[in-house]
Amino acid sequence: LPSALQFSTGIGVGLVGFGLFFLLFGILLYFDSVLLAFGNLLFLSGLVFIIGFRRTFTFFFQRPKLKGTSFFLGGLVVVLMRWPILGMLLE
C-alpha cells in the first residue's frame, strides 16, 4: 500500500507541475484560453491525487473560504467559456 500511495502522489505532483506549466505558457501566449483551461484542470486533478478527494473538497468548501472558492471556481468556468482575461482576473 505505501508504494501505491507514493505512485499516486508522484502522479499528482506531475499533474500539478504540468498544470502550472500550462498556466504559465497560456499567460505567456497572451491568455490562450485552451492552455489556461487545461492548466487549471490539470492543477485541480493533481491536487486531488496528492491530498485526496475528500481533503480537497473540505479545503475548498470551508465556511471562511467560500468567497475565495466561488471566485476561483467562477474564474475557472469563465476561462472554460473562452473569456480568459476575465477568468484569470476572477481567479
What pLDDT does 4 receive?
Answer: 76
Residue 43 CA: distances (Å) to CA of 1, 83, 90, 91:
25, 19, 17, 13
User: Model confidence at 7, in pLDDT bands (50, 70, 90)?
Assistant: confident
Work out the mean pLDDT of the chain and round it to a whole number.
93
**Rounded mean pLDDT of 48-60?**
94
- Percent above pLDDT 90 for the chain: 90
Alpha helices per DSSP H over 52-83? 53-60, 66-80
Give the separation between CA 79 and CA 40, rounded to whole angstroms: 9
Alpha helices per DSSP H over 29-65? 33-51, 53-60
**Rounded mean pLDDT of 52-74?**
94
- Percent above pLDDT 70 for the chain: 99
Q: Tell me the residue length of the chain.
A: 91
The amino acid at 18: F
**Rounded mean pLDDT of 72-84?**
93
The ranges assigned to domains in the chain are 2-54+63-90
Half-sphere exposure of 58 (CA within 13 A, CB side): 4
pLDDT at 1 over 60: no
